[in-house]
Chains A and B, each alone.
Chain A
Amino acid sequence: MVQTALEKQSGSGKGTALSGNEAIALAIRQVNPDVVAAYPITPQTDIVQYVAQFVADGQVDAEFLGVESEHSAMSACIGACAAGARTVTATSSQGLAYMWETLHIASGMRLPIVMAVVNRALSSPLNIHCDHSDSMGARDTGWIQIYSSNVQEAYDNFIQAIKVAEDPEVMLPVMVCMDGFLVSHSLENLQIIPDEEISSFLISTRDQSGLLFQPVTFGAMDLQDYYFEHRRQIIAAMETAKGVLLRTGKSFKDLTGRAYGLLSGYRIDDAEIAVVVIGSLSGSVQVVIDELRSEGIKAGMVNLRVFRPFPVREVASALSRCRAVAVLDRSDSLSTGGGPLFIDVRSALYAGPESRGAERPVIVNYVYGLGGRLVSLDDIRRVFEELKRVVSSGHTTRLINYLGVRE
């Protein structure tokens, strides 16, 4: 049935109802990878299934490696990408955790692997539903992280990720994240880009640094005298990636009319109170903001698309005129210092000389949705109610809050 829907899409340019996983599988076919090495795990399983089907049916000229684990999946991707192949994969949760050491190897060797991450909670307790614990746990692995709010964004982000990763000034791996089940299994009307337009958008700019083009050594020992310099190169590439992400977003808009930046604001320009979110919750937040605006309350939202590299200046600038800000985290750092998004957003507000002496918004953290706990519009309204109270009183009663947990 699903296969039928995927087949129907070919070249029409019209919207087609696809799930997030189907959209990613379609994107994988369209970016025409040389190698896909992947291992199935809920809720990413459909992606691997469809891609394997595409390869079996000859719809994509890729080598599909059905490996025995995620550690092997990423290891195979590393080998293929080092050879010079366009290499993609997908995983979730424990699978991403199992890839941990190889994630660092991929970025350290500067291999432009693109991986769809279908966000799911981490064990224990065992849970298959959405939160961001998996990818947030990999936030400092040297991978670029792009988050998607809906099916269209997941599809568009995956295609752009190839171009960003392979840019000679970047050459870093990219995770394209979407919320497990909430996006991966939700049907949306997807605007599909014709194959030939994607081909010309993604004409490889990758230099011939792969092993197939020159005999070099990858992954050699690198001790006290050189390791630091090579890590410094990754930081520089991350900094460069911000501009490349913006440039790629611009050329993608020229192609499709859909605009992508490092973050998007919703009614943020004149907002007095605002929330910062990542992922699918942004849709519900927009509904609440529209309601609040009709009541005359100046509410707004920043939806972060790119979490790594972290857009420090852009976040600080977007929130600079707010009086109170709530950061909504779909995971917790378990450090007692708040969620990972909160920690970075608060840090950004202290960044750079321009923030010195400036009046910063009062900031609070709400951890929500762990293990797929649903968030209602009322939950979001409660956050904005608290922000209103913060503005009138000038301070918070509690810095870190847990939205929707039973006491």
Chain B
Amino acid sequence: MYDETGNKPGWQSLPRGGVIKRPGSASAYETGEWRLEKPVYNTEHCIQCFLCWVYCPDSAIDVRDGKVIGVDYYHCKGCGICVQECPRTGRALDMVPEGDNK
């Protein structure tokens, strides 16, 4: 949340009491920057069972047209649950260190 000059607002211009007036603001928060390891998705081995989508605590599995297409790295915190639950662990989903572009 930045004002028109690109600065964060001071206490005199913020809404009272920490109230957030715009709905859905959590999606704008980049929790992905907390990640130390990341799940890497490989569509060739994915059987579209959706277990990763069901178990992901951050709704960070991207789905389009009824199919899993990858991981939303803006929100994924790197917990690894999707990889743990994947029936094809290590192939359809694999955990790699952050920064490793395997």
Contact = CB atoms under 8 A, between A and B. Distances in A.
A218 B19 contact: yes
Interface stretch (A230-238, A241-249, A371-379): A230-238
A232 B9 CA distance: 13
Contacts of B20: 216-217, 220
Given A215-B23, A216-B21, A229 B11 contact: yes
A171 B17 contact: yes
Contacts, number: 49
Q: How large is the interface on A (under 10, 10 to 19, 20 to 34, 35 or more residues)?
A: 20 to 34
A109 B8 contact: no
A109 B21 contact: no
B18 A222 contact: yes
B17 A229 contact: no
A87 to B, nearest CB: 15
Interface in B21-67: 21, 23, 25
Contact of A233 (B8, B11, B25): B11
Interface string A197-233: 0000000000001000011111110100110111011
A112 to B, nearest CB: 11
Given A225-B8, A236-B11, A230 B17 contact: yes
Interface of B: 8-12, 14, 16-21, 23, 25
8 contacts: A110-B16, A214-B21, A218-B19, A220-B18, A220-B20, A222-B18, A229-B9, A230-B14
Given A228-B11, A230-B18, A233-B11, 17 more contacts: A171-B16, A171-B17, A209-B16, A216-B21, A217-B20, A218-B19, A220-B18, A220-B20, A222-B18, A225-B8, A226-B8, A229-B14, A230-B11, A230-B14, A230-B17, A233-B16, A236-B12
